Homo-oligomer: A and B are copies of this chain.
């Protein structure tokens, strides 16, 4: 039993479907009616996890220092980031990011800053969230291709801490998914993933639990 399966079952029950998780990390996981599973992403913060909260925060910081260097366009993210970390100038950012005990958590916490900037039509912030949505949509598409999923009513569940904090991301992702997998039903997971664990545990108690195999 893995976290992604638990979240998928919490949202889609026993039906085939795909879950896209974006939180500290990111992954897409799916299961078809033949009990086959596939995943994409989930490679961790160094070499993968595009579209995760950490990735979004890192891209925001990169955009801010690029703007500071004159290597990239100016962005209101700069003001937001300085305020968030309560610092006066950009060079302090290095101290804030690298000297913290939990640098990844500090970076992941920037999602709402990016959301607010995107709401105010900051082009840099919008581009970061559109790219994140594109990456997550690509992951889901790769899973659906391998599992032969598709067609009307396919459940696609969005789970993970970033979606409630950054609604722009969920909207951008949903529109891509609907465009590429016409007829799919995109839903934000509105209950605890634990609901999926309970469902699976009850199936196991009845001797009916079947875990999917990766293809």
Chain A contacts to B: CB under 8 angstroms: 40-41, 43-44, 46-48, 50, 58, 61-62, 64-65, 69-71, 93-94, 97-98, 103, 107, 135, 138-139, 142, 145-146
Interface contact B71-A47, CB-CB below 8 Å: no
- Contact status B69-A41, CB under 8 Å: yes
Assess the B93–A47 pair: CB atoms within 8 A: yes
Chain B residues near A69: list those with CB within 8 A.
Answer: 40-41, 139, 142
* Residue contacts A-B, CB under 8 angstroms, 9 given: A44-B94, A46-B58, A46-B97, A46-B98, A46-B107, A47-B62, A47-B65, A48-B65, A71-B135
Interface of A, secondary structure class, is: helix
CA distance A139 to B107 in the complex (A): 24
Number of copies: 2
The 5 closest A-B pairs by CB, nearest first: A47-B61, A40-B69, A70-B142, A71-B138, A43-B65
Q: Which residues of B contact A50 (CB under 8 A)?
A: 62
A70 to B103, CA, bound (A): 30
